[in-house]
Copies of this chain bind each other. A is one copy, B any other.
């Protein structure tokens, strides 16, 4: 996936884009509205992350031009907690979602995935795999008709796996995605959650394989 990040705070921009790159995305970075528009007009982005406070105008003007140019690239707005009015009008102007600063990277990732999925699947967010149906928006997992109640962390862990079945996630990576910087939990927590998730997945053809020293992987079949 190719992302466009529009953010004037260099530090934050670097943090976000390095994380995104780590996740396997390509990130272009603009720190001015002018640049952002020029970039986006190429139309080659899958998603745009837009800060609304920028040196040469606010995100509104970008959104306006972006949409009036007939572009439909999804936009997620990054906004401060205090700017409630802004994030509301952003939605009106055609933003697809907003994330309030300060945000966990995990949260941002989740929102990105949700928006991309919504865009790609025409509103459908469910993922079907190995006899299980997972809907991250509803927060439900269905196995053989029965709905299974998942909690917050379990849900987010499952979402990670479901989005990349067959891929190895190192414990460190899972930890980074599940916890925020200032959470100081031990890596054992991951083991615990994998265990809990496994229990929930009994009864379908999905299983989480342990790869000693490497991490975990979701397999089906």
Point out residues on A near B: beta carbons under 8 Å.
11-12, 14-16, 18-19, 21-22, 60, 63-64, 67-70, 72, 84-85, 87-89, 91-94, 96, 100-106, 118, 123, 137-140, 151-152, 155, 166-168, 172, 176, 181, 211-214, 217
The answer to whether A70 touches B22 (Cβ under 8 A) is yes
- Residues in chain B near residue A89, CB distance under 8 A: 102
A53 to chain B, nearest CB (A): 14
Question: Roughly how many angstroms separate A211 CA and B103 CA in the complex, as a whole number?
Answer: 20
Contacts of A139 in B (CB 8 A): 168, 211, 214, 217
Determine if B70 and A181 form an interchain contact, defined as CB atoms under 8 angstroms apart.
no
The listed residue (B12, B68, B138, B213) touching A167 by CB distance below 8 A is B138
Q: What separation, in Å, do the CA atoms of A64 and B17 have in the docked complex? A: 11
A155 touches B214 (CB 8 A): yes
A152 and B93 form a contact (CB under 8 A)? no
- In the complex, are the beta carbons of B138 and A18 less than 8 A apart? no
CB distance from A19 to the nearest CB of B (A): 6
A102 to B84, CA, bound (A): 11
B91 near A102: Cβ-Cβ < 8 Å: yes
Q: Is A106 in contact with B123, judged by CB distance below 8 angstroms?
A: yes
Q: How far is B70's CA from A178's CA once the two chains are assembled, in angstroms?
A: 31
* A78 nearest CB neighbor, chain B only: B92
CB <8 Å contact, B15 and A92: yes
The CA-CA distance from A103 to B91 in the complex, in Å, is 6
Measured CA separation A213–B69 after assembly (Å): 39
Q: Which of A22, A85, A118, A211 has the most CB of B within 10 A?
A: A211
**With A85-B181, A106-B123, A152-B214 known to touch, is A93 a contact of B12 (CB < 8 Å)?**
yes
Q: Which of B72, B151, B172 contacts A22 (CB 8 A)?
A: B72
